[in-house]
A and B are shown apart, each in its own frame.
Chain A
Amino acid sequence: MISVKTYVLVFFVLIGLTLATTAIAFVDLGGVLNVVVALTIAVAKASLVAVFFMHLLHSSRLTWLFAGAGVFWLGILLILTISDYLSRGWVSGFEMTLR
């Protein structure tokens, strides 16, 4: 059982990360790095919510498997599709870009 103290601590960390990500957005890190930092913070926040608020910490391995399966299939969806769009035009004669 997760304690009230832990919940409150996680809450303050989440608020801190929210303020940090907003503040960092005003600093120009060179485009791509801004995106990487913003998404890394988002993944960290989502993980905190899942592990503590959604009780994954004390859940069975089967529950972890279900949660992991969701992330895994989302990864397939994102990585295969984005690698398609990013690699278009690498082979001559197949130049297609989104317009």
Chain B
Amino acid sequence: MSEARGFLASHFDDVAQQHEASSLGMWAFLVTEIMLFGGMFLGYAVYRGNFSEAFSAASDRLDIVLGTVNTAVLIASSLTVAMAVHAASRGRQRALLFFLVLTLLLGMIFLGIKFTEYYHKYEEGLIPGARFRYEGSDPGRAAIFFSFYFAMTGVHALHMIIGLGVFLALAWAARKDRYSAAYYTPVELAGLYWHFVDVIWIFLFPLFYLLGRHS
């Protein structure tokens, strides 16, 4: 246990208890995040229930290929995060750094594709507001669909940007050998956050890109 002295806070009995407390704290934070996104999912569900035809028609304007590719990219980044946590728990420093950098790259690819999509929507005049141009039958309700789309994928993208900052800090610390098999709690907690953001996208993808596509 002498190795643990540097990071074991005095109010914990041992490293396992400290790790458990940190992990629970992260889960408590993620529950508040569920409620944050939950409110938006609820709003979407209510409007979709009332305006299902307009929402289906508007949903066809999203790029299903880019959406599917982005889902795969994010799932791949979740795998690299799981591998990073695994490497950290075994004290494999180089593997940890490798998977952290790979995660950063995949996260940036996701955001790159996302902002490409946003730019296409801007060019097509599908951003709700004064310049909103929609040729479909029900532009008012389509504007509500796109408002939900930009708000929810936007808040998700913000979480991705914060996640990239966290993983950059982790990679920096990993490069300086701050983590070991005995202490890798920050890697584990950042991993929980990243997987949670992945789970949010797993629901955003079918709700915005797929529903009402069957034609």
* Residues of chain A whose beta carbon lies under 8 Å from any beta carbon of chain B: 1-2, 4, 7-8, 10-11, 14-15, 18-19, 21-22, 25-29, 31, 34-35, 38-39, 41-42, 45-46, 49-50, 52-55, 59-60, 62-63, 66-67, 69-71, 73-74, 77-78, 81-82, 85-86, 97-98
Contact = CB atoms under 8 A, between A and B. Distances in A.
A85 to B, nearest CB: 5
A18 B75 contact: yes
B214 A42 contact: no
A49 B202 contact: yes
Contacts of B7: none
Given A53-B81, A78-B45, A29 B203 contact: no
Interface stretch (B28-36, B117-125, B126-134): B28-36
A58 B68 CA distance: 31
Contacts, number: 135
B206 A39 contact: yes
Where chain B touches its partner, the secondary structure class is helix
Given A50-B195, A70-B30, A82 B75 contact: no
Given A21-B210, A53-B82, A86 B31 contact: no
A3 B50 CA distance: 46
Interface in B11-56: 20, 23-24, 27-28, 30-31, 34-35, 38-39, 41-42, 45-47, 49-50, 52
Contacts of B24: 62-63, 66
